[in-house]
Amino acid sequence: MSAPATEGTRKGFPGELVGAVLLAALGVYLLVDAGAITIPNSSNTVGPRFFPYAVGGLTLATGALLALRVLRGDRGPADDGEDVDPDAPTDWRAVAVIVVAFVAHALLINVVGWPLAVALMFAAVATTLQGRMTPQAAVRPFLIGLTVGCVVWIVFVKALNVALPGGTVLEFLTSWF
């Protein structure tokens, strides 16, 4: 197994410290906001605040302990997988493109329909992961994405009655179903 290559090789500022501190902050938020939950008069014993306090306390303690451990040099081994290159530097551009493309497609669904929105997202993601970001390289991913989007839409909407906006063109073309 290639565990030694992945464990503790990332240098520089530990991102996990941010995660641990945010977790502790989440614990504080839970403890503070739990006090704001209304307790109805009817509940005479343990009300809706009890469990949030418990979870908040546990979260704060875990976050604080984890932050301490990270500061003392403990690093979690990053996840491995068949398609993950443990030695590759983080490709932040790919992550950014996926996030932007996905949020854009979410906002586009009700405008241009799910198949087209998803085809654009598919094209952006696949083109980026290919590593060639030219308009020509995006044609094939877009066509594949559009085909997948339309087929999935027809199966789920026409056969399974899932509510999914299809966009004007596709809805018109399939209105005879």
What x-and-dash track marks residues 93-132 binding other proteins by CB under 8 A? Answer: -xx--xx--xx-xxx-xx---x---x--xxx-xxxxxxx-
Residue 114 backbone dihedrals phi, psi, to 5 degrees: -65, -45
Residues 143-162 that bind other proteins (CB under 8 A): 144-145, 148-149, 152, 156, 160-162
Closest separation in Å from C-beta 86 to other proteins: 7
Nearest to 113 by CA among 161, 165, 154: 165
Q: Judged by CB under 8 A, does residue 37 bind other proteins?
A: yes
The number of residues in the chain equals 177
Rounded Cα distance, 134 and 165, in Å: 30
Which DSSP state fits 165? -
Backbone angles phi, psi at 175, to 5 degrees: -70, -15
Q: Give min distance, CB of 99 to other proteins, in A.
A: 6
Number of residues that bind other proteins (CB under 8 A): 86
Q: Which of 144, 114, 107 lies closest to 126, judged by CA?
A: 144
User: Measured from the CB atom, is 97 or 174 closer to other proteins?
Assistant: 97
Tell me which of 21, 154, 164, 174 binds other proteins, using CB under 8 A.
164
